[in-house]
């Protein structure tokens, strides 16, 4: 029975300010008696309750009403699906907190629950007070997300939640909460006045981002700091906080790239923490005459060193295009011999590719997240943008095909630079480095080759529905679900993306590249021209979906997905 209050759209109305009242709970239990009791108990807590007798029904509801629920409570034993499986699905697809219940309190079961991602495990018979406290899980998760994404993406409701939730915790705690999030630009909305929740957001346009990247590179990635960057950027209206949070996202993004690289390193499937990827990265990007960092020792061998996966016949099919930042990122050298001399198009969307940055995480166009919450990755993906590798090790999971870049649907790949031929074949997918280049003519370093796949959206419909501000970008090109992308194993793809730590750097509306989510792919040409970020050669960025930066909570996974996609294209990655 649906007990949710519905607004005209048929969806539950967002949480009210009388936190935690109105918390939207989905209860799943095959026992009709318990379902009735739980419903009653939750209603007594002033929550909005929806009940389900079957796990499949629950999944259906969750998918249908994205962002329609705040938390899921599910029994462990159900006839149609194991409760743990449901737990995994919810965590991956919807990224909602899930509480498990059972009459069985055996430690091994409880442990299993926790391992599968449950945020709590309640023993039946369940007491009212246990249910009264479930809002804390929701709040906690939101706080984590805010931290991860620098709080850019929180929509006003989330902010209300966080603030009100924080208030409830304690007055003092709220101060701490506020202080803690100072850097994250929470200050603007810190006032509990929810009417002023929406804070003015800095739109990180491509130009602005390029200035940022330039500044970062000038200072030296290792020595970078918000104040220094701000000073160099010379943008009067920008605050230190703005820069700080952008930097954080950037770092996350790079780290993620790095991780993905490492992961993809082996092409064999993810677990190769071999960042120095030689293999894939080199293979990937060589097509583009990106200026590869001078450091790059071209290993002409390219190849995939151990990872092998790199597809293709020697050509760099997918180039992990690193924006040729000036400091040429360390594109490593493993470039394929063919590409010898070719510039590695590292999309240094963040301008990161510096010579200084050796193992820098290749900035994926989509995310300027700072320290990528790698934790989210189930697999150890390294951002493949490893400057060293040059081409980035594509996120592992998918390495199955050698498809030339153009073929890969949407793999957004930041690192993926279609080979010239591919490009020829698919004019549409010209490897344009960086997104910002709308006219991709260049090797699309990160051009999502077919850009049909929304690499960052493993599941298009599941996409972070909870990212309120996420702009679904014209992701026509990118919105393909992950399956388009590649044989990324759904679960792995999910793992990645659904991680809660979406790094997504919400860099601002215009920044397409930054969006980790990949949603930002310029729909127009579907190319991720990460190279756009090459501030040495700024290109007008056209058609960069503003949503790139808006994607808030890109799960970590997104980039991974895209990477996967990239990989696939290049056939470098073996799923």
Partner 1 sequence: MEVVQLQRSFVECMASLFREGLLDAQFSQLQQLQDDSNPDFVVEVVSLFFEDSERLLNDLTMALDQPNVDFKQVDAHVHQLKGSSSSVGAQRVKNCCVLFRNCCEEQNTEACLQCLQQIKQEHLLVKNKLQTLFELEQQIVAAGGAIPMVQ
What Cα–Cα distance (Å) separates residue 85 from each residue in 39, 113, 137, 235, 356? 23, 10, 20, 50, 44
C-alpha distances in Å from residue 491, one per residue of 350, 494, 552: 29, 5, 22
CB of 29 or CB of 371, closer to partner 1? 29
Task: Tell me how far apart the alpha carbons of residues 400 and 449 are, in angstroms, rounded to a whole number.
Answer: 16
∠279-281-286 over CA atoms, to 5°? 110
Q: How far is the CB of 73 from partner 1 (least distance, A)?
A: 14
Nearer of residues 53 and 220 to partner 1, judged by Cβ:
53
* Binding footprint of partner 1 on the chain (CB under 8 A): 30-34, 36-37, 40-41, 44, 75, 77, 102-104, 124-125, 127-128
Both structure tokens of 454: 């929304």
Closer CB to partner 1, residue 78 or residue 346?
78
Q: How far is the CB of 320 from partner 1 (least distance, A)?
A: 50
- Are residues 47 and 24 in contact, defined by beta-carbon separation less than 8 angstroms? yes
In angstroms, the CA 393 to CA 382 distance is 7
Return the ∠ at Cα 172 (arms to 167 and 178), rounded to 5°: 70
SS3 89: helix
Q: Taking a C-beta distance cutoff of 8 angstroms, is the pair 350, 511 a contact?
A: no
Q: Which is nearer to partner 1, 123 or 235 (CB)?
A: 123
Cα–Cα nearest to 245, from 117, 147, 123, 354: 147
In whole angstroms, the minimum distance from the beta carbon of 109 to partner 1 comes to 11
Least distance (Å) from partner 1 to the CB of residue 15? 22
- CA-closest candidate to residue 450, choices 413, 417, 486, 409: 409
Taking the complex as a whole, the smallest distance from the CB of residue 31 to partner 1 amounts, in Å, to 5
DSSP 473: -
Question: Is the Cβ of residue 99 or residue 330 nearer to partner 1 in the bound state?
Answer: 99
Residue 112 beta carbon to partner 1: minimum distance, rounded to whole angstroms: 15
Cβ-contact 221, 186 below 8 angstroms: no
**Phi and psi (nearest 5°) for 39?**
-60, -45
Shortest distance, position 38 Cβ to partner 1, whole Å? 9
DSSP 99: E
Of residues 41 and 453, the one with the C-beta less far from partner 1: 41
CB nearer partner 1, residue 125 or residue 540: 125
Compute the CA torsion angle 314, 317, 322, 323 (nearest 10 deg): 120
Nearer to partner 1 among residue 29 and residue 185 (C-beta): 29
Cβ nearer to partner 1, comparing 122 with 362: 122
Minimum distance from CB of 113 to partner 1 (Å)? Answer: 16
8-state DSSP, 187: H
Minimum CB separation of residue 76 from partner 1 in Å reads 10
CB of 123 to partner 1, least distance (A): 9
Q: What is the DSSP letter of 375?
A: G
* DSSP strand pairing (98-102 vs 24-28): unpaired
Shortest Å distance, C-beta 512 to partner 1:
51
Specify the residue, 75 or 274, whose C-beta has the smaller distance to partner 1: 75
Closest CA to 334 of 399, 408, 415: 415
CB of 478 closer than 8 Å to CB of 448: yes
State the nearest-atom distance from the C-beta of 128 to partner 1, in Å: 7
How many angstroms separate the CA atoms of 356 and 530, rounded?
A: 19
Cβ closest to partner 1, residue 123 vs residue 168: 123
Question: Which H or E run includes 529?
Answer: strand 529-529
Q: What is the distance between the alpha carbons of residues 74 and 528, in angstroms, rounded to a whole number?
A: 40
Residue 536 in 3-state DSSP? coil
3-state helix, strand, coil in the chain (%, to 5): 35, 5, 55
Q: Which is nearer to partner 1, 129 or 223 (CB)?
A: 129
């Amino acid at each position: 029975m649906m007990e949710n209050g519905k607004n005209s759209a048929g969806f539950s109305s967002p949480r009210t300010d009388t936190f935690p009242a109105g918390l939207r709970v989905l209860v799943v239990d095959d026992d009709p008696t318990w379902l009735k009791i739980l419903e009653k108990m939750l209603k007594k807590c002033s929550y909005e309750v929806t009940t389900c007798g079957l796990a499949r029904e629950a999944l259906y509801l969750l998918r249908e009403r994205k962002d329609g629920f705040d938390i899921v409570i599910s029994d462990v034993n159900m006839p149609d699906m194991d409760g743990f499986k449901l737990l995994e699905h919810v965590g991956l697809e919807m990224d909602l907190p899930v509480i498990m219940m059972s009459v069985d309190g055996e430690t091994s079961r409880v442990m299993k629950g926790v391992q599968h991602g449950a945020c709590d495990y309640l023993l039946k018979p369940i007491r009212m007070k246990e249910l009264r406290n479930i809002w804390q899980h929701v709040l906690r998760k939101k706080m984590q997300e805010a931290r991860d994404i620098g709080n850019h993406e929180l929509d006003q409701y989330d902010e209300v939640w966080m603030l009100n939730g924080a208030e409830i915790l304690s007055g003092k705690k709220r101060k701490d909460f506020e202080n803690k999030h100072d850097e994250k630009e929470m200050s603007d909305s810190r006032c509990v006045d929810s009417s002023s929740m929406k804070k003015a957001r800095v739109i990180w346009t491509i130009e602005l981002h390029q200035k940022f990247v330039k500044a970062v590179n000038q200072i030296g990635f290792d020595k970078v700091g918000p104040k220094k960057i701000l000073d160099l950027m010379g943008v009067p209206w920008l605050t230190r906080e703005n820069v700080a949070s952008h930097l954080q996202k950037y770092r996350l993004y790079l780290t993620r790239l790095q991780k993905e690289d490492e992961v993809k390193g082996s092409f064999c499937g993810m677990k190769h923490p071999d960042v120095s990827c030689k293999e894939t990265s080199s293979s990937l990007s060589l097509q583009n005459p990106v200026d590869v960092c001078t450091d790059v020792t071209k290993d002409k061998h390219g190849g995939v060193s151990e990872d092998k996966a790199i597809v293709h016949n020697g050509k760099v099919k997918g180039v992990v295009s690193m924006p040729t930042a000036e400091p040429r990122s360390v594109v490593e050298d493993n470039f394929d011999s063919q590409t010898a001399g070719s510039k590695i198009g590292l999309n240094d969307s963040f301008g990161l590719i510096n010579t200084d940055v050796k193992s820098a995480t290749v900035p994926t166009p989509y995310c300027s997240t700072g320290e990528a919450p790698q934790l989210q990755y189930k697999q150890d993906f390294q951002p493949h943008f490893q400057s060293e590798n040059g081409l980035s090790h594509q996120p592992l999971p998918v390495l199955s095909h050698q498809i030339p870049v153009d073929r890969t649907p949407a793999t957004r790949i930041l690192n993926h630079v279609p080979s010239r031929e591919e490009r020829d074949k698919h004019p549409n997918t010209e490897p344009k480095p960086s997104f910002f280049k709308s006219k991709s003519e260049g090797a699309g370093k990160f051009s999502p080759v077919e850009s049909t796949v929304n690499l960052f959206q493993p599941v298009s419909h599941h996409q972070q529905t909870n990212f309120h501000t996420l702009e679904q970008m014209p992701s026509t090109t990118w919105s393909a679900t992950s399956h388009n992308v590649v044989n990324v194993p759904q679960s792995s793809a999910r793992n990645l993306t659904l991680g809660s730590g979406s790094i997504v750097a919400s860099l601002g509306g215009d920044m397409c590249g930054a969006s980790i989510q990949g949603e930002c792919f310029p729909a127009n040409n579907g190319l991720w021209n990460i190279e756009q970020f090459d501030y040495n050669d700024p290109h007008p960025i056209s058609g960069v979906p503003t949503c790139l930066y808006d994607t808030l909570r890109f799960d970590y996974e997104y980039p991974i997905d895209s990477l996967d996609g990239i990989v696939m294209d290049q056939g470098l990655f073996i799923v």
